[in-house]
Structure 1
Amino acid sequence: MVKRARFSEYKDRYANYRFELSEEGILFMQCHTDGDSLVWDWKAHDDMADAFADVAGDREIKVLIHTGTGANYNANWGLLPDGSMPAEPIYQAMPGSRGQWKLDEKAWYNRNLMFNVLNVDVPVISAVNGPCNIHSEVPLMADIVLASEDAWFQDVAHFPRGQVPGDGQHVIWNFLVGHNRGRYLLLTGKKLGAREALDWGAVAEVHPKDQLLDRAWELAYELAKRPPMVLRYTRQLFTHELKRAFLDQMGQGIGLETYAQREFFPFGGGMEPLDRAWDDKPWSQSR
């Protein structure tokens, strides 16, 4: 459940999320790390859930544009500059009940992230500015999904590494592209290019990278001309079935994923560690 929020309160709250608000009421939300592509670590993960809660609680905005920065939308694992894991890994193995509580906390943030995105009550435009292989459900829950020509989607964080694909991946992909395509993508680690994602119905438009944000703003300005309640109730109408799908399936997916992570931590059970950069050769080299 979100609470009332105002732009002045959250605009400078998050290190990894930059906010701007136009005179027309268009909120621009940009993921980044030090002005470059977002590095996905626990803080970015948890803060994204909280940031979307603030956005969902802001009743003054009329449209949301959500995007990334630099070469990719969300594909950096948080590796050190030499490509190695930090001394204290992002997914740290913790013994006994302490580890289970840590996993439960992250599952809690994960559930909040999904539903806080869906609780944004204004039309959402996602501009996927490059590769996205982590939590692709976030941009795909938008009402209009734009992608740059060099963008691609993939779920390498779960099944290809020996983990249950429960972080909303099992919901969004089957919902958008159908069970057969969705299951195939998740089980094989398929790298879905922007044009193929367009053919599959996962994105609405594909544009050159330098034209992507211009198109997002063009659409946002047009949407913002409508009355505020029309915008809010239309978003509610469009998210109703998706909320139902997440409500029906999210808890089971996260529960099974969390349970299976007793084998996942420490690195084992056939799991591939997060020891490669997003632009290295993927696990499935043929894709």
Structure 2
Amino acid sequence: MTRLPDYAGKYTGIRMTREDGVLEMTIHTRGGPAKWGSSPDCLHAELGDAFLDIARDVENKVVILTGTGESFIDGFDPAFAFPEPDIASMWPRIYEEGNSLLQALLAVPVPMIAAVNGPALIHAEIAVLCDIVLASENTEFADLAHFPNGTVPGDGVHVVWPMLLGPNRGRYFLLTGERIGAQEARQLGIVGEVMAPDALLPRARTLARNIASVPVPALRYTRSLLVRELRRRMLEELPGGLAHEALATLVTMPR
């Protein structure tokens, strides 16, 4: 078991606060909008451990996940660098972190609300795997980190997007870098509500308080049921997807 003071200040790219059992985790990069990176102190490494800490804290009743400023994650961190000497040395760590990130997210035993505060163009699956997804009007969803960037979409996006969009639209989405705006995302069932940016967190907090008022066993057992199929699919398909991504990288990138 963990307690909030044990982990609230532990992560360089995640701020955490809690009120009445509602934990807010805000991702950022050096205090500004979150950018994606894969070095040991970036979100790729930190999110899995953070979700595990959250899961072990029995005082958490609901989790709100949001970003900083006007974007959720819209690009890469230009400052990140791999500490490993070559690609082959890097991949064992990336494989473990990639598995941990999504498996640990789905292992959080209480309901999760994503308040997507702007473009989610890199690893948007982190948001859309939450139980309730709210989006600001300026939000777009895309997967620009993988195939459009010359990388196999194997670290969970190959599971999430065909499941949400259907097999054909999901494959189109991953192969073309398509951007789906907030209103279309709501029509497609990716997003539950769309609203003005300044209404986003207040709405997320209202929903979180309502959910947190339900008896704790109902919270936890409902969450367990709602993510059961997602956890099964991720357990079966994520390791192989990461292996394919690693193989393509090792073959095509200079060492």
User: 1:215 & 1:264 partners in 2: Cα distance?
Assistant: 45
Q: Which residue of 1 aligns with 2:17?
A: 20
Q: Which residue of 1 aligns with 2:49?
A: 50
* Shift of residue 266, structure 1, vs aligned partner: 3.4
Decide whether the 8 Å contact of 1:125 with 1:146 is kept in 2.
Answer: yes
Question: Residue type of the partner of 2:24?
Answer: F
Question: Residue type of the partner of 1:253?
Answer: G
User: 2:138 & 2:217 partners in 1: Cα distance?
Assistant: 36
Q: Which residue of 2 aligns with 1:63?
A: 62
Which of 24, 30, 36 aligns to 1:34? It is: 30
User: 1:91 & 1:182 partners in 2: Cα distance?
Assistant: 31
Q: Please state if 1:259 is matched with 2:247.
A: yes
Count matched residues: 252
User: 1:216 & 1:266 partners in 2: Cα distance?
Assistant: 45
Question: Residue type of the partner of 1:254?
Answer: L
Q: Which residue of 2 aligns with 1:270?
A: none
Which of 179, 183, 193 aligns to 1:205? It is: 193
Deviations 1:77-117 (A, max 9, x none): 112xxxxxx5xx6368844xxx3231121111010001100
User: 1:26 & 1:220 partners in 2: Cα distance?
Assistant: 6
Q: Which residue of 2 aligns with 1:115?
A: 103
Which of 124, 135, 142 aligns to 1:136? It is: 124
Decide whether the 8 Å contact of 1:30 with 1:68 is kept in 2.
Answer: yes
Q: Which residue of 2 aligns with 1:166?
A: 154
Q: Please state if 1:125 is matched with 2:80.
A: no
Q: Which residue of 2 aligns with 1:274?
A: none
Question: Residue type of the partner of 2:229?
Answer: E
Question: Residue type of the partner of 1:15?
Answer: T
* Shift of residue 76, structure 1, vs aligned partner: 2.8
User: 1:263 & 1:184 partners in 2: Cα distance?
Assistant: 25
* Shift of residue 181, structure 1, vs aligned partner: 1.1
State the secondary structure of the residue aligned to 2:135: strand
Q: After superposing the two structures, state which structure 1 stretch, 142-151 or 171-180, moved more.
A: 171-180
Q: Which residue of 2 aligns with 1:219?
A: 207
The TM-score normalised by the length of structure 1 is: 0.84
Cα RMSD of the aligned pairs, angstroms, is 1.6
* Shift of residue 160, structure 1, vs aligned partner: 1.0
Which of 216, 223, 228 aligns to 1:240? It is: 228
Q: Please state if 1:90 is matched with 2:81.
A: yes
State the secondary structure of the residue aligned to 1:64: strand
Question: Residue type of the partner of 2:81?
Answer: I
Change (3 A) 1:63 1:94: same
* Shift of residue 156, structure 1, vs aligned partner: 1.0
* Shift of residue 265, structure 1, vs aligned partner: 2.1
Structure 1 gap ranges (5+):
80-85, 268-287
User: 1:139 & 1:128 partners in 2: Cα distance?
Assistant: 7
User: 2:89 & 2:104 partners in 1: Cα distance?
Assistant: 22
Structure 2 gap ranges (5+):
none
State the secondary structure of the residue aligned to 1:198: helix
State the secondary structure of the residue aligned to 1:29: strand
Change (3 A) 1:247 1:72: same
Q: Which residue of 1 aligns with 2:7?
A: 10
State the secondary structure of the residue aligned to 1:130: coil
The TM-score normalised by the length of structure 2 is: 0.94
Q: After superposing the two structures, state which structure 1 stretch, 41-50 or 187-196, moved more.
A: 41-50
Decide whether the 8 Å contact of 2:64 with 2:112 is kept in 1.
Answer: yes
State the secondary structure of the residue aligned to 1:195: helix
State the secondary structure of the residue aligned to 1:105: helix
Higher Cα Rg: structure 1 or 2?
A: 1
Decide whether the 8 Å contact of 1:163 with 1:264 is kept in 2.
Answer: no
Q: Please state if 1:74 is matched with 2:73.
A: yes
Superposition pairs for residues 148-159 of structure 1, below 5 Å?
148-159=136-147
* Shift of residue 201, structure 1, vs aligned partner: 1.1
